[in-house]
Amino acid sequence: MTDVLGSRQGGTRTVVTLFLALAISTLWSRTLGAAPADPPVLSQAQQLAIARAFAPTLVFHPDERYFPTSSMGAAAEGWSARIEAYRALSRPEKLSHAALAYRAFSRLDDGHVDVIVEYWCYYVYNAYTIRGSWLAYRVPDNHPNDLERLYVVLRSTEDAWRDGPADDAWARGAFRVSRVVANAHGGSIPPNQYNVPEGEALEPPVTILVERGSHAMAPDVDRDGRFLPGVDSTARSKVQWGVRDDGSTWRWYRQSFMDRRDASAIRLCGPLEASDPVDSTCPRYSLYPADDLQHWFEDLALSTRDREDVVGRTPWLVRAFGDVRVEHLMAPPDAADGREFEKLLQRRKLTETGFVVGFTTVDHAPTVVLSRRFFWEVPSPRYPDVLVEAVALLPKGRRTLVETTVWGSYNVDAITNVLVGFGWFSERGGTSPVIGAEVRIGRFRLRPNWRLRDGGFDARVTTTF
């Protein structure tokens, strides 16, 4: 009887195992079958049609001196002569030369095929002055070459990939705007972005406000000529840059930061169908492929000296305290694969995370600081972000000290964070609450720290890479 019962139990287990295997196999095959293939590759004709159909309307300050233009052919003259030649043009001549580079590529996002159309706005010069908030200072941010990127993210419809002519009508029927991401400034300043709510539509052309002199961009969804957080943006970031014609770095956005773009504003429109009437109040800019720009620049095969003459060199003040490198702005080398787009969205995290090297003092002894930073951005303007550090301090002629600290980091303005945390310090052999403030000036950080339990204090100058 035992043998029979055991045999039956064994058979039951076998059957159950078999059914489980079949179920898992079926689910696995269905999962594999449901897995989306690679996104379709856009032809050049499709890219052009999409770029034309969703080309934005750019709205400039009435006193703007520099407008987007093509950087192709600029090798015929040095950067200084190029700027002077542009300044000598009348405003109508500048507007007649207006041009944007474009490229478009598809990608899979949550099982859907999205298309990202990217516009490059190149300016021969950046003329801007940054004004401090809590600390009164003014720093000129003037340099040759300025490149600002605008991304229009499109969600494809069922008719997107059917055979047919790749024209403007196809593009507007095949795609819907789901997101607009506009570059503001470099460093840790997040882009201005608007996510279209579910069930709503954002009809092209999208209106984009352009900052005076520095050309940061922001959506103007309601087209009222001013940037309104919560209306023209949906991102809940600590710093909402928007448009700041006055150069303020203050964290809390104010309407006084920008001059309203009224009837006196200068508008540039995208290319229209040839049958459409020409609107003299909104001159058209032309579009040219970013790929052509990159190939043209590569084919020049410039020497280091020639490249410096053509492209320019980052001024020492900007190189030391700024984030821009003018050598990479005239013809960016990055591929159309979405990596630059993702970097833009994660700008603050990428800026705050990394290895740290710098200097401080321990009991008046010069000390090297080596550290590793980890950063988590909390998606709320009310609550601080989280910063974790593991630090080694190497004082001259003394033993190495070790610290581990967990901070709550909160923005005061675009370059200053207030820090409150708790850490362990080998110097005192114990834990202590700590407070600090970190001022970011380009690639450098200045940070005073106070240990509340024993009154310890030091100030550090570091850089992160």
Instruction: Answer yes or no: are the C-beta atoms of 247 and 128 closer than 8 Å.
Output: yes
Helical packing angle, 79-87 and 304-311, nearest 10°? 20
What confidence tens digit (pLDDT) does each residue in 84-138 have?
Answer: 999 999 999 999 999 999 999 999 887 788 999 999 999 999 999 888 777 777 8
Main-chain dihedrals φ then ψ at residue 370, nearest 5 degrees: -125, 130
Looking at residue 256, the DSSP 8-state letter turns out to be G
- Considering the entire predicted model, what is its pTM? 0.85
Residue 269 has pLDDT above 80, yes or no: yes
What confidence tens digit (pLDDT) does each residue in 39-70 have?
Answer: 888 999 999 999 999 999 999 999 999 999 99
- The answer to which of 45-54, 137-146, 417-426 has the lowest mean pLDDT is 137-146
Query: Which stretches does DSSP call E strand in 50-98?
Result: 57-60
Longest dimension (CA), the chain: 106
Architecture in CATH for domain 353-464: Beta Barrel (2.40)
DSSP string, 369-409: EEEEEEEE--S-SSSPEEEEEEEEEEETTS--EEEEEEEEE
pLDDT band at 320 (very low <50, low <70, confident <90, very high): low
* Lookup result for tokens 């004082």: 395
Instruction: Answer yes or no: are the C-beta atoms of 240 and 191 closer than 8 Å.
Output: no
3-state secondary structure of 287: strand
Give dist(CA 340, CA 253) in Å, integer.
26
Give dist(CA 48, CA 267) in Å, integer.
22
Instruction: Answer yes or no: are the C-beta atoms of 160 and 319 closer than 8 Å.
Output: no
Instruction: Answer yes or no: are the C-beta atoms of 119 and 48 closer than 8 Å.
Output: no
- The answer to which of 27-36, 264-273, 448-457 has the lowest mean pLDDT is 27-36
Instruction: Answer yes or no: are the C-beta atoms of 414 and 249 closer than 8 Å.
Output: yes
Task: Give me the pLDDT at residue 30, please.
Answer: 37
- Domain positions in the chain are 44-347, 353-464
How far the first Cα of the chain sits from its last, in Å, is: 74
